[in-house]
Structure 1
């Protein structure tokens, strides 16, 4: 039986993409409810300057709160070494640094070219290695715009493979492939996953971060699974997008992804009926904010039974 690890990124990727700021208590309720539904990992925020993303100003408080939830892996995004220092100080258990394969996007997103980002990766890896083993966070590099860029257009796959290897050489524990702009298609996903795994090792690429901009999110997820991907990022209600990638709309919908996986016979450990009720927290805290997903609208089919351990 295949076990797929779900990482909920809505509290970070979803909320950074909208102008309103969700109240701290509502964020806590969201995180607690998803954890209670069995979601094993939640990206609770990002350590970026509040002046740039005020939606993320309370990330340290959310890390402290989420760490109190038994069994939950607490993840954050860090844009640079300073962000990583804050993440380590807060006690984050997993850190992800976005490394855009499009250098133009990298300059827009984190204001650094490829050489500078690799320098940040080395510095963060040294910081992580200096922490006591018991509190050392897992350090992943997300290869953003790996499938295409709204600014540059096509991204050279040879460069993605080369930069993936460079990130590992610089000290990242693993890399993930991110379809930041919703450009990917299933054939491309299969090809690039296969190529990066061959370059860095099968155990160094486990995660896909996909967007549903053109309706191919679940198809791309399935393509990744067929190539050995075991972790999939998703966002409740499909919230999300990159503020520095014009036209990049939301992530794949957590509810739809889990329904697909469970219907296929994969195990997620997530109680889908409980998860569907979590949307109410978002609609109450952010009235009028568009949410997406077919499963929440249609409901679960008659006789649907989830996989149990």
Structure 2
């Protein structure tokens, strides 16, 4: 990915307007991410959502999206304030100071999405193992790994930063060395491929389970218990699948395509559209919170704190009526 970010000094008005459109879009999606994720954070804070089991990953995603949106807002405001109809010439010292959140949180978001997909694969394919593991401990380890990898990207970015004038380019990619762009694009491409493959396994299993009808028990008490477990199982699947789809279309696939296009053709998305990765990451954070709130809107008022504290119900029911020997495991994951 040896790219040339040195564009012409003067650029057509439409090209410069694309920068402004991208920056305004980032401001809108950033505010939406802050507001929407703050609502989810409030639900965790008031115990309406329980962060002691698999929802700990959702909590970390929420906090990450809020922190990134707040941390990147000065950069976007700086781009908008100093935008010009003739050409843009941003100060490299300022860019170095305010653009550090991008490489760090881009990698944190990617690894968290991979962790969410891995958690769902474990629940769908290996439910007995899933219910034995300590979800909080695993989520904490995952977050530590995310921060560590994000710090590696940030340190590498800082050391590869070039304090040189870059006319008509409003992206971090314009100011860093080729070696970092190569590493950044390759690592993002690798993460994207891994997330896509893991997501396909999740979607395939969820679709397979949705086509299977199960016998819900012989007694009213057993049927009620199995219905509650299966409802929470489906709810957890819908939530994770929704977030994975949002991340795929808003972040993973665009990042993968950018890396592939730049590697094959040398065409610079950064030079054409400006803060592309920032827009993608903010879009992912905004869509994640909206999907989570929409999918859980009908059950938020019914969440009982005491029930959530005891949420470890696992019920095995038959996936065929009456005499079937095939088993489907429903795990209380909500």
Same structural fold, with TM-score higher than 0.5 when normalized by the shorter chain:
no
Is the helix fraction higher in 1 or 2?
Answer: 2
**Which structure carries more strand by proportion?**
1
The TM-score, its normalising length taken from structure 2, stands at: 0.24
TM-score (norm 1): 0.25
